[in-house]
Amino acid sequence: MKKGDFPQHECGDSTNNHGGDAFVNGGFRNWNIKSRFSKHAGAVNSAHCEAEEKYNLFMQPKTSIRESFASNSAEFKDQYLARLTWSLKCIRYLLRQELAFRGHVESKDSNNKGKFRELVQWLAGNFEEVNKVVLGNAPTGCQMIDHKIQKQLIGSCAHKTTKLVIEELHDECFAILADGSSDAYQQEQLALCLRFVNTTGQPVEQPVERFLGLVHVEYTTSLTLKEAIKSLLIKYQLPLSKVHGQGYDGASNMKGHINGLKKLIVDESPSAYYVHCFAHQLQLTLVAVAKENIDCAWFFGQLAYLLNVLGMSCKKICMLRIAQAEYMIEALKLGEIESGQGLNQEMGLARPGDTRWGSHYKTIMHVMLLYPSIKKVLFKVGKECNGAEAIGAQTMLQVFQSFEFVFLLHMMNEIFGYTSDFCNALLRREQDIVNAMDLLEFTKAELDVLREDCGCKEFLGKVTSFCVKHKVKVVDMDGKYKPIQRSRKFFKDAVNYHRFHADMFLGVIDRQLQELNNRFDEVNTELLRCMASFSPAKSFSAFNVDNLVKLAKFYPSDFDVEEMNQLPFQLNRYILVMWVRMRISQI
């Protein structure tokens, strides 16, 4: 077959990709090879398929979605808009309440079709205007309840929300907050939030935090995370130079001074000072002490084992409640405790969590208060039960009655007790920055006093008194150290005084102080003290021109020499105007 045997067939022009040159160059010789037709047609987005689609739409225009929708009546369009509106309202409600959409079985006969379909069905059953346009009264292929439709509407809500956040930012400076997490498929992802001052806030401007988006990351290295943050900011046309603050967790890839994410961001934006959530930093400090000190780690391991032994069944929890009630009755008879409204409330043993602030202190405090009751329950379980349950209680009772466990229990109670007020103060959103910094200094001063000889003697006296009261054998501080459930080979020739005073008491407190100094460095502390001068509380009592000028020096790219020279005069004029306005408003 030659070139003239078939009419020429050109899909597109010479500059576009087409399905093949079988019909246009040299004729179609391979007429007996059917695969040549498929090769010419190409993929779905090829020029041949596009030409075929245009031809079909030209011959049958009613098959086009656009033409089909345009040919509908005004009533049909109004019903479609109403149906879309009610579906969107249901989606917005579920999104605001952070509820799941889908159910396990969404058929018509299902008793629970999922929250989205059930909500639409409830609206249709209670409001006639909704019932007219949804579910059974809607066209079969246009009910607006399919999973794909739900995802499209959710995506539209997310896009609209993000657009409003960018408009709210008004091209001003902002800080970034980032943290990593995994999704349902255990894929690593990075969540990014923006913190900035909302200049449109009513009645006054106020700082806000807005979620920007999630980015899937293959690795959690600092360079990978930095590129992920940069790509997300560029997507919304937010330059990295506008970043004037950053906050992450205490992981090494985040806060590293050499190759950490903090350092990489500062290299591109020198004004992006790293200031993390203080309450989170304090909790990380307490957890770091528990993980890095071997004796402290042993104590928390035994504490977790104790909670497993006592919390495995409701029977043991009930036994603990009965034992505590009997102890309270006996203590009231002896006059050791007082009765009254709100006193002697029932307590439980909650499992501490690294991400639940204050949970460690609460658990340790409850163990101390419930010590005689726990001891009684462990003895009863070890004597009356059988198998692994009895062995676990007997093993735990040996540790629970040891001087080492009681010593570490009191030591962690002292440390957590000193830092508890500071942690609770940091959790309050209205806490003044200066007060928070003062609490930090007070906490470190109290720990310094505790580690002195007088503090150590007073603490040892408390532990000894507790042991005598609850019949726990007190060790001789000049005697040889005997570890509990640990081999003596690791502690050859160790003396009790050195182990309890130097390794445990001073070792944990020194590490605590070191972590507090590392996490609350001088730059962050000075920066926040200067920022506190902005506070309008108590008629601008914290206003300080020198601190505000010092704060401006932290951002040299935002103030030139002339502006820095003029700044003190402008600040004095500003505070004078504000005081005059306040006096006038009080008249």
pLDDT of residue 343: 58
Q: How confident is the model at residue 320 (pLDDT cuts 50, 70, 90)?
A: confident
Going edge to edge, which strands form the sheet with 188-198?
206-216, 188-198, 174-182, 243-247
pLDDT of residue 61: 63
CA-to-CA distance for 579 and 125, rounded, in angstroms? 60
pLDDT tens profile 374-385? 888 888 888 887
pLDDT of residue 334: 63
CA-to-CA distance for 31 and 3, rounded, in angstroms? 12
Residue with tokens 């917005």: 92
Q: What angle do CA 101, 103, 107 make, to 5 degrees?
A: 120
pLDDT of residue 2: 47
pLDDT tens profile 258-311? 777 878 888 888 878 777 666 566 666 666 676 777 888 888 888 888 888 887
Mean pLDDT value across the chain: 78
Burial class (CB in 10 A: 0-12, 13-18, 19+), 469: exposed
Tell me the C-alpha to C-alpha distance, in Å, between residue 341 and each of 329, 344, 366. Answer: 16, 9, 20
What does the DSSP assignment read for 22-62? TTTSS----TT-THHHHHHH-STTSHHHHHHHHHHHHH-GG
**Average of per-residue pLDDT across 85-113:** 83
**Average of per-residue pLDDT across 529-557:** 78
* Higher pLDDT among residues 275 and 143, named by residue: 143
Return the CATH fold of 170-276: Nucleotidyltransferase; domain 5 (3.30.420)
Q: Can you list the alpha helix ranges (DSSP code H) found in 97-239?
A: 115-126, 128-131, 147-169, 222-235
Token pair listed for 186: 């255990």
Residues 6+ apart with CB under 8 A from 380: 319
Residue 93 and residue 86 in contact, taking contact as beta carbons nearer than 8 Å: no
CA-to-CA distance for 358 and 428, rounded, in angstroms? 14
Strands 174-182 and 206-216: unpaired
In one-letter notation, the amino acid at residue 576 is L
Residue 275 and residue 207 in contact, taking contact as beta carbons nearer than 8 Å: no
pLDDT tens profile 20-77? 554 555 555 666 677 777 777 777 778 778 888 777 777 776 656 666 666 667 787 8
Report the candidate in 236, 217, 218 with the shortest Cα–Cα distance to residue 178.
217
**Average of per-residue pLDDT across 211-219:** 84
In one-letter notation, the amino acid at residue 255 is K
CA-to-CA distance for 241 and 245, rounded, in angstroms? 11
Residues 6+ apart with CB under 8 A from 196: 169, 172, 173, 174, 175, 207, 208, 210
Residue 242 and residue 204 in contact, taking contact as beta carbons nearer than 8 Å: no
Residues 6+ apart with CB under 8 A from 318: none
pLDDT of residue 13: 44
Q: What angle do CA 194, 198, 201 make, to 5 degrees?
A: 145
Q: How confident is the model at residue 3 (pLDDT cuts 50, 70, 90)?
A: very low
Say whether pLDDT at 413 is over 80.
yes
pLDDT tens profile 353-375? 655 656 777 888 888 888 888 88
Cis bond leading into 536, ω under 30°? Answer: no
- Give counts: helices (H), strands (E), the chain: 25, 4
**Average of per-residue pLDDT across 499-516:** 83
What does the DSSP assignment read for 516-532? HHHHS-HHHHHHHHHHG
**Average of per-residue pLDDT across 401-408:** 90
Q: Is 338 left (phi over 0), alpha (psi -120 to 50) or beta?
A: beta
pTM of the model: 0.62
CA-to-CA distance for 212 and 168, rounded, in angstroms? 12
Domain segments of the chain as ranges = 3-67, 72-153, 170-276, 283-519, 533-586
Residue 20 and residue 42 in contact, taking contact as beta carbons nearer than 8 Å: yes
* Higher pLDDT among residues 338 and 442, named by residue: 442
Say whether pLDDT at 153 is over 70.
yes
**Average of per-residue pLDDT across 75-85:** 84
Residue 367 and residue 306 in contact, taking contact as beta carbons nearer than 8 Å: yes
Tell me the C-alpha to C-alpha distance, in Å, between residue 79 and each of 35, 536, 576. Answer: 48, 53, 61
Q: How confident is the model at residue 338 (pLDDT cuts 50, 70, 90)?
A: low
CA-to-CA distance for 250 and 285, rounded, in angstroms? 9
Q: Can you list the alpha helix ranges (DSSP code H) found in 97-174?
A: 115-126, 128-131, 147-169
Dihedral sign from CA coordinates of 119, 125, 130, 131: positive
Report the candidate in 367, 387, 365, 362 with the shortest Cα–Cα distance to residue 377.
367
**Average of per-residue pLDDT across 424-451:** 73
pLDDT tens profile 232-265? 888 888 888 888 888 776 666 676 667 778 788 8
